[in-house]
A = this chain, B = another copy of it.
């Protein structure tokens, strides 16, 4: 049985990330529904364009000086890569990022620009390649979600939500590997247990909803999850550490369609002046289109988790 992340660990993590991440405000959205106000937590405004910085910074800041000086390695399809690269640059240590050859170019370029060394592999090789590099060079592996230091780091966003809107009815969070959802749920339930915490994922990558419903950690084939436009949410299953927290603290996981995700990207551009990537817009899609599965009234918070999107796709969605 996994030991769950404690409120003390979350508070330690928050001290570590303060000054290294943006303390994002909660933004009231004028275009929510009467009696069901919408607030946005704009994690796309972090310097790398996504919440992932919170977890990566917390992990790297937790290392000993000696461990840290040897450098870090990570595998990621995108935002986690930039988070690790940015954090390494901030600490002045080497970073190697293993990327699948399917990663969007905007994310590859952005990671290289942050000074990381990029190693490109086929998607099936990325875990192995990262482990091999860690063993060979003494790098610390920074996992994208399956680690309690990552869960605690992402959870700092939940501490801020509970502090800023303690009487919220519900917090909606995108779910993929589950680092953000599990961290936010742990933080919110520790401080304000009456707030519902609800994961949102694409119908086409609904492994987490199935896992929560059945009580068994379930993986979907990558051939299925890779169909969604939400390229940050194609992970085939929750991590085991996140799943333990999700079972304990998450009230529900709901799904949204591809067209709902597209509409939410447009909504965020014109109703909140935020550039969101499809993965970053799923929680907002949940608010807009899944009221059947949400509290009937009260303040709703949607976490806008990222904003790194290819220009051609963004122009199409906002045009």
Q: Which residues of B contact A274 (CB under 8 A)?
A: 45, 273-275
Question: Is A91's CB within 8 Å of the partner chain B?
Answer: no
Distance in Å: Cβ of A258 to nearest Cβ of chain B: 20
| Contact among B22, B42, B307, B308 with A45 in the assembled complex (CB-CB below 8 Å) | B42
| Contact among B25, B114, B307, B311 with A273 in the assembled complex (CB-CB below 8 Å) | B307
| Contact among B30, B307, B318 with A315 in the assembled complex (CB-CB below 8 Å) | B318
Distance in Å: Cβ of A23 to nearest Cβ of chain B: 6
| Contact among B25, B86, B114, B318 with A318 in the assembled complex (CB-CB below 8 Å) | B318
Question: Is A314's CB within 8 Å of the partner chain B?
Answer: yes
| Contact among B22, B48, B314 with A269 in the assembled complex (CB-CB below 8 Å) | B314
Chain B's closest residue to A28 (CB) is B47
Q: Which residues of B contact A269 (CB under 8 A)?
A: 275, 314
Assembly stoichiometry (copies): 2
Q: Which residues of B contact A311 (CB under 8 A)?
A: 270, 318-319
Chain B's closest residue to A26 (CB) is B22
| B-facing residues in A289-319 (Cβ within 8 Å) | 307-308, 311-312, 314-315, 318-319
| Contact among B23, B30, B106, B272 with A25 in the assembled complex (CB-CB below 8 Å) | B23
Distance in Å: Cβ of A41 to nearest Cβ of chain B: 12
Q: How many angstroms between the C-alpha atoms of A28 and B25 in the bound complex?
A: 15
- A273-B275, A311-B318 given; name 13 further pairs at CB < 8 Å: A22-B27, A22-B28, A23-B25, A24-B25, A28-B47, A29-B47, A30-B86, A45-B273, A49-B273, A106-B270, A273-B274, A273-B308, A274-B275
Closest 10 CB pairs of A and B: A315-B319, A273-B307, A273-B275, A44-B273, A28-B47, A269-B275, A315-B318, A315-B315, A30-B47, A22-B25
Interface residues, chain A, with chain B CB atoms under 8 Å away: 22-25, 27-30, 42, 44-45, 47-49, 86, 106, 113-114, 269-270, 272-276, 307-308, 311-312, 314-315, 318-319
What are 20 A-B pairs with beta-carbon distances under 8 A?
Answer: A22-B25, A22-B27, A22-B28, A25-B25, A27-B47, A29-B47, A30-B48, A30-B113, A45-B274, A106-B270, A270-B275, A273-B275, A273-B276, A273-B308, A274-B274, A274-B275, A311-B318, A314-B318, A315-B319, A318-B318
